[in-house]
Amino acid sequence: MIEFRHVSFAYETGYPVLQDVSFTIQEHESVGLIGANGAGKSTVMKLILGLLFPSEGEVYVHGIRVSKATLADVRKMCGFVLQNSDSQMFMPTVKEDLLFGPLNYGMSRKEAEEKADAVLEQLQITALKERYNHRISGGEKRMAAIASVLTMEPSVILMDEPTSALDPYNRRQIIQVIRSLSVTKVLTSHDLDMILDTCQRVILIGNGTVQADGPASAILRDQKLLEANRLELPLSLQKPVL
Amino acid sequence: MNKAEYTLREFYEMDELADRRSPVHRFSALSKLAVTVVYLFVVVSFDRYDLTGVLAMALYPYLLFAMSGLTFGMCIHKMRYILPLLIFAGIFNPFLDRNVWFVIGSVSVSKGWLSLAVLIVKAVCTVSAVFLLIGTTKIDAICGALRRIHVPSMLVTLILLTYRYMSVLTEEVAVMTDAYHLRAPRQKGIDVSAWGSFLGQLILRSMDRARELYASMLLRGYTGEFPAEKQKGDSRSLIHALVWCSVFLLLRFVPVIRIIGTLVTGGKV
């Protein structure tokens, strides 16, 4: 469970990014965080992960308050897939990247390799195991980045723009993978069709506050609300032009 | 492909070379590291006029190139920036060191030429040895070996991170160089007037990337030390290290080439 209690945050004094934001995400829920550029979606993610700390209010992950003292516990529970997979995959090969997290958390190499094999099998990317990160395509790298997070067996997965810059085939693959994960999922994206496909609930952030919070099927159909927040209806819900 | 991309490709190639399979690749990182360190010390310890002694030391890279599947050509290619510097550093020796080495007709050749030759052979030998080490051993394994000999964790992590971040920096240079040249097609290189902003942007961009990368490490449990693979010491690697270290010491203290030369020419040893 993730809980935001009256959270405010500003990178610069006088320019708040989030103001008095409160919401709760239940276990196994799949939530899409949407909003215009600069609305504060990524900031919400960073606050959950303890990469930033609120100026006011509190953030809880599974009942643990996110603070410097609890970072290790919080981060063990949360897996984060970055928008830029190049920044996520920093080891020479996919295999070494997959082992990095589990080994850091004290898993033996044998156990870690078994876990990595199982995840690669689950995502059907076993062929990538021995490949070099600089030799694989963007789509493969995104899949490998998700795998590197799954090997840590997180109970919460956060994904920042998981389908950005992917071709339709790879986008579909990622959507299927996201749908197949049975953990708490928080996704940020401007790809509202993907959000509609993968999330039951949507939190719309705008002007530093929660503008709407409810079922994805309702919020993503609300054209006025979306347009007021510089968004558009998902393509699948728009009337064909021709 | 711009220069930065080419550098980046070469950079990645080293990782791929280290991942090949050969008898040398299979030796433990610790044994290869020990042999290389001893080799470097022995090579640089030769007298500046001892050409035959230093030439004998070329036996090690020669055999290892043959065994590892790497080629001397690859090594020379990597040395292309260092060699001119070396030649520049030693080019004044023939003029400063005027002791006569030998005389051909009426022309005397100074010992400065000899010391220049020794300097170049030493450089080629030492760079080849280091190339062989990093071309047959992954950086993680080398760092693991450094940790095993109790090199401070901070220093080892610094080496490893520098290695990783170098690719980040070079990637940024590649992207920025392309962006620059697309808007300045007739220019060769980057104009001096743009150096300041180019470097400033490069630092900011690579810091952003580095920050993201570091966040990704932290989120996967990084606490200041890379998880190193525990390497088992095997007898083959131990023999490799012992044999080579003995050979180096033998070549250092016994003038093997001179003895062979004397024997071949029928003189007394």
**Number of domains into which chain A is organized:** 1
- Are B3 and B28 in the same domain? no
Site of tokens 């270290």: B245
CATH number at residue A174: 3.40.50.300
pLDDT tens digits, one per residue of B219-265: 988 887 777 666 667 899 999 999 999 999 999 998 888 888 888 88
For residue B14, the enclosing domain spans 1-19+151-230
Residue B94 lies in a domain: yes
Residue B201 lies in a domain: yes
Residue A242 lies in a domain: no
- Are B9 and B125 in the same domain? no
pLDDT score of B185: 75
Separation of alpha carbons B162 and A37, rounded Å: 33
User: Considering only CA atoms, which of B267, B248, B1 is closest in space to residue B125?
Assistant: B248
**Number of domains into which chain B is organized:** 2
Interface contact B219-A100, CB threshold 8 A: no
In this complex, which of B12, B167, B227 lies closest to A103 when CB atoms are compared?
B227
Residues in B touching A104 (Cβ below 8 Å) = 220-223, 227
pLDDT score of B11: 79
- Are B179 and B46 in the same domain? no
Residue A86 lies in a domain: yes
pLDDT tens digits, one per residue of B34-56: 999 999 999 999 998 888 899 99
- Are B27 and B7 in the same domain? no
Q: Does B13 touch chain A (CB under 8 A)?
A: no
pLDDT tens digits, one per residue of A22-62: 999 999 999 999 999 989 999 999 999 999 999 999 999 99
Mutation target for A interface from B219, B231, B232: give the one with most A CBs within 10 A. B219
Instruction: State both tokens at B193.
Output: 């007037």
Residue A85 lies in a domain: yes
Q: Is the pLDDT of residue B269 over 70?
A: no
- Mean pLDDT for B96-123 is 85
Alpha-carbon gap: A75 to the closest alpha carbon of chain B (Å): 6
- Are B131 and B29 in the same domain? yes
Separation of alpha carbons B208 and B185, rounded Å: 28
Q: Does A49 touch chain B (CB under 8 A)?
A: yes
Alpha-carbon gap: B116 to the closest alpha carbon of chain A (Å): 39
- Are B172 and B183 in the same domain? yes
pLDDT score of B93: 82
ipTM above 0.95, yes or no: no
Residue B14 lies in a domain: yes
- Are B198 and B238 in the same domain? no
Separation of alpha carbons A146 and A224, rounded Å: 34
Residue A241 lies in a domain: no
DSSP A16-48: EEEEEEEEEE-TT-EEEEE-STTSSHHHHHHHH
For residue A122, the enclosing domain spans 2-235
Which range among A91-100, A198-207, B172-181 has the greatest average pLDDT? A198-207
Angstrom distances, CA of residue A240 to CA of A201, A224, A234, A235: 26, 18, 12, 9
Give the Cβ contact number of residue B185 at 10 Å.
Answer: 6
CB A186 within 8 A of CB A48: yes
Residue A95 lies in a domain: yes
Q: Does B171 touch chain A (CB under 8 A)?
A: yes
- Are B48 and B123 in the same domain? yes
pLDDT score of B41: 95
Q: Does B216 touch chain A (CB under 8 A)?
A: yes
- Are B30 and B123 in the same domain? yes
Separation of alpha carbons A224 and A28, rounded Å: 30
Residues in A touching B19 (Cβ below 8 Å) = 92-93
Give the CA diameter of chain A.
59
Residue A240 lies in a domain: no
pLDDT score of B153: 86
Q: Does A116 touch chain B (CB under 8 A)?
A: no
Q: Which residues pair with A59 in a beta bridge?
A: A4
- Are B54 and B5 in the same domain? no
pLDDT score of B230: 67
Residue A242's pLDDT band, with cuts at 50, 70 and 90, is low
Residue B145 lies in a domain: no
- Are B215 and B158 in the same domain? yes
pLDDT score of B75: 87
- What integer best gives the mean pLDDT of chain A? 92
pLDDT score of B231: 66
Separation of alpha carbons A61 and A59, rounded Å: 7
